[in-house]
Amino acid sequence: MQTFTGIDIGGSNVKFGLVDRAGQLLEKKKVSTKPLRESGNTGQGLVKIVGDWLRAHPEVKHVGIGAPGMISNDRRTLVEIVNIPELNGLPLVEQLEKQYPGVAFHLENDANAAALGELYFSGQPMPDNFLLVTLGTGIGSGAVIDRKIFKGGDGNALELGHIVSGNGRSVEQTIGKAGLIQMAKELAKAHPGNSRIKEATKLDDDAITDAALAGDEVALKVFNEYGKVLGGALASAIYILDIKNIYIGGGVAKAYKFMEKSMFESLNRYLSPYYLKKLEVKLAKLGNNAGILGAAALCFIEGEQ
């Protein structure tokens, strides 16, 4: 059985997965990035832990890597990794090829890789053209057009989280994790009654979602505002790409039902009938394993060649 490795580089952890051709996750491992960053040579540490995984899985000949940021057009160098700036400019693929000959490495932006993972491994019929948006610490996005990743002019298209929102801040600053928490604090402060948001000892996206599930008025207002911003951002992307199939993923997607109404209100407000007639918005299927499976999908494609 041919297997592939998917590696999901994150700000807190690097996740490894052993994946077969059908997209089954056979094994999973997580390594904290903290000791890597404290070592003084994060890039060298990253190359080493990839080697540790490969020595444990000598049968693997294709490794896909999803990186959270800008990468070079030739898909070999990490250009701008905001959450791990120590990796900026690292020629990752070149270093890995030197250290581990005989293994093919495939590098891609993590949201692009996640979109590809949905295309091949979601288990549901997928259109040839779609946009995937991941809602989490940041706001990631990737598009598949004619069943291929849309890379743009210089390789880093569709940074939806960085477009300017209506409040003069970026979409990510407004509804990324930090923005979501700030929004919750401001609405809780203005709310005259009791709220689980006010009482929370640790306020994060999970706490805000749990409060919404319990019917908390502040939490419901938060996701109502969240949906408005998301809908506006999606409308911009739809006008630029002419894509009418949207998939929503990421950790905050579990609160989708609380933001759906206001999101569609924004979409209906900004989009013309041409786009609205065939518009479909659905939840992505891969969940917490989207990063690993998406990275593995890069190998899946190359492995067929």
pTM: 0.92
DSSP secondary structure letters along 174-242: HHSHHHHHHHHHHHHHH-SS--HHHH-SS-SHHHHHHHHHTT-HHHHHHHHHHHHHHHHHHHHHHHHH-
As a whole number, mean pLDDT of residues 134-162 equals 93
As a whole number, mean pLDDT of residues 46-62 equals 97
Give the SS3 label for residue 141: strand
Those residues whose C-beta lies under 8 Å from the C-beta of residue 300, and which sit 6 or more positions away, are 4, 19, 21, 23, 120
* CA–CA distance, 69 with 196 (Å, rounded to integer): 34
Domains of the chain, start order: 3-118+289-303 (3.30.420.40), 125-284 (3.30.420.40)
* CA–CA distance, 268 with 231 (Å, rounded to integer): 9
pLDDT score of 166 more than 80: no
* CA–CA distance, 20 with 26 (Å, rounded to integer): 7
pLDDT score of 304 more than 50: no
* CA–CA distance, 276 with 259 (Å, rounded to integer): 18
Give the per-residue pLDDT at 217. 96
pLDDT band at 124 (very low <50, low <70, confident <90, very high): confident
- Residue 163: both structure tokens together: 């477009």
Those residues whose C-beta lies under 8 Å from the C-beta of residue 127, and which sit 6 or more positions away, are 245
- Residue 186: both structure tokens together: 């401001």
pLDDT score of 248 more than 60: yes
pLDDT above 90 covers a percentage of the chain that reads 88
As a whole number, mean pLDDT of residues 103-108 equals 97
Give the SS3 label for residue 170: strand
Question: Which ranges of 57-201 would DSSP assign to H, the alpha helix?
Answer: 92-99, 110-121, 171-175, 177-190, 196-199
